[in-house]
Chain A
Amino acid sequence: MDKRAAFRSWWLPSLFALPQIILILLFFYWPAVAVLRWAFTLEPPFGGAAEFVGFANFKEVFADPLYWNSVGVSLAFALCGTLATIFIGLVLALAVDRQLPGSAPFRFLYILPYAIAGPAAGMAFRFILSPERGLMASVNAAFPDFWNPAKYGSHALILVIVVFAWKWAGYTFIFLLAGLQSVPRSLIEAAAMDGCGPIRRAVDIQIPLLAPTLFFLLVIMMTEGFVGADTYGIVARTTDGGPNHGTDVMVYRIVEEAFRGLNYSGASAQSLVLIGLIMIFTFIQFRFIERQVHYK
């Protein structure tokens, strides 16, 4: 006996699903098909004869050493950004979850940065961490070029990762705190009775039980780091992809190419490659990391 609730007719469920289907078709499949078409043609921006050029756009993209540079930068950004975000969120969540006196306001405060738009955060950090005028100016005065994101690509990359982590740590914090609250109190209390300190309890009990949440955040944050609107916004407002392509992440490159360069074809080819890369990464994550995750 099938216990699932089932509709008797086919049209009623279709009707319920229709709005969602229309939205997906309109805002996902249609643009995706347009990008696909664009990637294989060369068309003047104002329209006109779209000439089919086969894989020429892709060849051009792959032949460009700066493209591979941007793939590397994106990887470094997404990986470091994700790890930093999850680590900070986890530490904050563990601290708040201990419910020490006065921890309630922090629960609220830690979420706040998530409410700020990425470009705005980027703009603020550009000033706060600018080498000649910001917080580091006095350090730079004593040790020249100790911190100079306008000069060193590595510093610039750290800068954009800091902004990204600052903003998104609030997001991971919410999920991790919710996860922690579902860890049975009795387990933690028992461990405490046995003389485990907070760190030991976190490592041996809470983090293993958080594995599904951590895995979910890993996938989400990696995707966000690669293609998120914030990633573009932060880079555009802080470093402009510089110095000398030091923070030229893939999304930044695509938007620049499409809208400043009016090279829709090349940008479409790049986005298809990016979509492919994300599929591969997500696959790897599910294939190799999810195996270590126990849901029950």
Chain B
Amino acid sequence: MRVSVTTSVFIGLMASVAFGAPAAAAEKTKFEFWYGLSGDLGERVQDACKKFNESQSEFEIVCTSQNGYDTTLQNTIAAYRAKKQPAITQIYDAGTLDMMLSGAFVPAKKLMADNGYTIDWNNYFGGIANYYATAKGELNSFPFNSSTAMFYYNADAFQKAGIDFKPDTWEQVEEAARKLKTAGYECPLAFNFDTWPLMEQFSAIHNQPLATQANGYNGLDAELVVNKTKFVDHVKFFKKMADEKLFVVKTKQLGMDTVPAFTSQTCQMIQTSIADHGTIGKTLPEGVKWEVAMLPVWKGTERQNSLVGGASLWVLAGRPEAEYKGAAAFLAYLATPEMAEWWSTVTGYIPVTKTGFDAMKANGFYDKVPYKGRELAIQSLSFTPTSENTRGIRLGGFTQIRKEFATALEAIFMQNADVQAELDKTVERGNAVLRRFEKTYAGQTLN
């Protein structure tokens, strides 16, 4: 494999020398960038590409949406196997370990150093960078669109129900839910079976492990342990609340997911991504007062930083040298404070660097009405320095493990399965996924 990669680089170089040489002075270097965002967010990526192409005359980036995070990963794999990979590709959080072990990329640090850019790597927020970095803290890919889970509540409904406190703890959430119910609100809190806020974020901010080996950072032999942590009690609490009809399941299969349930004012509290902040503000009728807050914690918990979600940009191996210059230029361009601010403004994703965030804070971005509250996402992400349980999740086949847990939650909440028994079973199934992953990458170690 290694031989064929070098060969293809060599052939690529030969080809570029043979065909590109005469016109090299006038011709721009073209390179490809595949991304997974679609719809409105996909359009914004196109805007970013256009801005880059207009900002300089040496390179031309060609950006193609693959319509979805998972399809981008699949297509990247297929293209890499056929040696037709793009120079840059956007891979979601759950695909990070697959990329890291693939050997199919140029590490971020090396790319920038080779092409003469000095990047202050400490400028990235620790909670964001560590998700995509090696165990030693060196970035493999560039954090791009980053988010974290937040808690949203309808302040008007709170006022009508006579709730005069902010739901900072789950005890307070329960009290608020009871008051809302008494005041006639049918659905005080909506939740679905997405494990990201309920399991992953909950575990991080309560300093609970998902798996051994520091959530997989220290080795591929990690094993899931969520059936023995506070997460079990948390699910039991949700189950109790659901039985009392204080917390209500809202999924697309039932007719409405949590975000539409909140924006249609059917339900008064939800947990969802900060990336939905823009949508919620735009969709709720004008005049409705709503608030965003950090995820609640159990009383007496020392809150830890939450985990970053979203995707990062990977530079793939096996492209001609000239394309790497362009890729480095593009990534450096995205990291400029102006672009960081532009990207956060038009999308709702959070800035990934401290200087980007400071610049936005300084010019009053977070005081303006539609953007107010988004700074809490940064506060949540950088609440404490990252620790073993809050650095991130480095587990193989994590998309599949997520699905297993979502199914377990479905069994628990829709079909009354026993919480402990169901989670035990799911951990066992998840561990089987991890063992197979370990076997697939036999002999490889995490660096």
Chain A interface (Cβ < 8 Å from any Cβ of B): 42-49, 51, 60, 126-127, 130-134, 137, 149-151, 238-240, 242-245, 256-257, 259-263, 265-266
Contacts and interface: CB of A to CB of B under 8 A. Distances in A.
Given A44-B440, A46-B104, A260-B70, A149 B253 contact: yes
B254 A244 contact: no
B403 interface: yes
A130 B436 contact: no
A250 B77 CA distance: 24
Interface of B: 1, 70, 73-74, 77, 80-81, 98, 101-104, 249, 251-256, 397, 399-400, 403, 407, 410-411, 414-415, 417, 433, 436, 439-442
A282 to B, nearest CB: 31
27 contacts: A42-B440, A43-B440, A44-B101, A45-B102, A46-B81, A46-B98, A47-B1, A48-B1, A126-B253, A127-B255, A149-B253, A150-B249, A151-B414, A238-B253, A244-B410, A244-B411, A245-B407, A256-B400, A257-B400, A259-B70, A260-B70, A261-B400, A262-B73, A262-B77, A262-B397, A265-B440, A266-B436
A239 to B, nearest CB: 6
Given A44-B101, A127-B255, A150-B251, A243 B415 contact: yes
Contacts, number: 92
A46 B433 CA distance: 18
B403 A260 contact: yes
A246 B143 CA distance: 38
B255 A134 contact: yes
Contact of A51 (B80, B249, B442): B442
A257 B74 CA distance: 12
A130 B81 contact: no
A131 B254 CA distance: 6
A240 B252 CA distance: 10
A44 B97 CA distance: 12
Contacts of A49: 1
Contacts of B255: 127, 130-134, 137
B410 A132 contact: no
Contacts of A239: 253
Contacts of B73: 262
A60 B103 CA distance: 27
Nearest to B417: A244
A262 B98 contact: yes
A256 B414 contact: no
Contacts of B80: 46-47
Contacts of B104: 46
B77 A45 contact: yes
B352 to A, nearest CB: 26
Of B102, B414, B433, the most chain A CB neighbours within 10 A belong to B414
A256 B407 CA distance: 14
A49 B2 CA distance: 11
Contact of B77 (A46, A60, A137, A256): A46
Contacts of A44: 101-102, 440-441
B70 A46 contact: no
A210 to B, nearest CB: 38
Given A44-B102, A51-B442, A132-B255, A263 B410 contact: no
A120 to B, nearest CB: 16
B436 A150 contact: no
A244 B416 CA distance: 11
Given A130-B254, A134-B255, A244-B415, 11 more contacts: A45-B102, A131-B255, A132-B255, A149-B253, A150-B249, A150-B251, A244-B417, A261-B399, A261-B433, A262-B98, A263-B400
A7 B368 CA distance: 82
Contacts of B1: 47-49
A244 to B, nearest CB: 4
B403 A130 contact: no
Contacts of A256: 400, 403
Given A42-B439, A46-B102, A262-B397, A243 B70 contact: no
B85 to A, nearest CB: 10
Contacts of B399: 260-262
